[in-house]
Amino acid sequence: MSAISSLFATFMSAFASLVEGLAELLGPLFHDSATAAAIVLFTAFVRLLVHPLSRASARGQRARAALQPRIAELRKKHGKNPEKLQKAVLELHAAEKVSPLSGCLPSLFQLPAFFLLYHLFSNSRIGDEANSLLAHKLFAAPLGDRWADALGDGGVFGAQGLVYVGLFVIVAAVATFNYRRTKRMMAAGAAANPAAGAFGGGQDAQPQVPGLGAITKVMPLMSFFTLLTVAFVPLAAALYVVTSTTWSAVERAVLYRDMPGAVPAAAVMG
């Protein structure tokens, strides 16, 4: 166990050095907020690495949309037997090598990067040395602090609090954009295929995938949960979330622009 801990400490030290190196490069442009800018740049790099998965997810969504006529036929055939219908739909997805939840992969592959930043800015020491990154700031707010710290030092509209107000405004704007777009896409999908129970079909319609119907009911609201994440994690991790969520909104608007009735399986995950 000590060997694993030692290896992890070495890895975190290397990651801290990477962040510090990026901050030094960006220092002439961003001055005291250079480390915050480095986190934004790191987030963009992670999103570029994940982008092929996002494109693959969009292709998968097109493939799922192409299966809708065959799924409609299965509904006619097994409409009175929900269990048999769900089994047949899952078998169809498997036969066509289409994953109903492939859209979750981009979000899952980002989790390690998020937790790296969370750990880096949640610990007072990295290896055997004090963690100097905790004192670095985004304007007036230390990257290692949380919203509660800002509230205790000047309140909501204090120097630190205003930084969080700015982040909350960005997250709320992106969440509202996602909410309206997801609702619009669901409505378009329901109009194009009224029998599609997974996206708001009639009362007797059955979901295409077990459990997916319940997910899609709350999907439009899930973007707003990002506000809670920003409020409770260290500012550095919150900055990653805000940057990634904004990237996702723009990326999906581009990748799904020609699929008005298609809702990505992870349409609201950063």
Q: What is the pTM of this model?
A: 0.80
DSSP 27: H
**Quick check: 193 and 68 in contact, CB under 8 A?**
yes
Structure tokens at 212: 């997916």
pLDDT of residue 268: 42
* Domain edges within the chain: 2-65+102-255
At residue 262 the predicted structure's pLDDT band, cuts being 50, 70 and 90, is low
Which of 132, 63, 113 has the alpha carbon at shortest distance from 244? 113
Return the structure tokens found at 247. 């990237």
What's the average model confidence in pLDDT over 46-52?
A: 93
State how far Cα 218 lies from the chain centre.
Answer: 15
Q: What are phi and psi of 125, to 5 degrees?
A: -130, 145
- Give Cβ neighbours of residue 181 (< 8 Å, ≥ 6 apart): 252, 253
What are the tens digits of pLDDT across the range 193-243?
A: 554 444 334 333 444 444 555 556 666 677 788 999 999 999 999 999 999
Backbone angles phi, psi at 200, to 5 degrees: 95, 35
- Per residue in 177-191, pLDDT (tens digit) is 988 887 777 676 665
Helix (H) or strand (E) holding 47: helix 34-66
| Mean pLDDT, rounded, for 156-179 | 95
What is the identity of the amino acid at 184? Answer: R
The token pair that represents 173 in the structure block: 């704007």
Q: CB atoms < 10 A from the CB of 186, how many?
A: 22
Which range of 4-8, 92-96, 99-103, 248-252 scores highest in mean pLDDT? It is 248-252
Dihedral angle of Cα 173, 177, 183, 184, to the nearest 10 degrees: 150
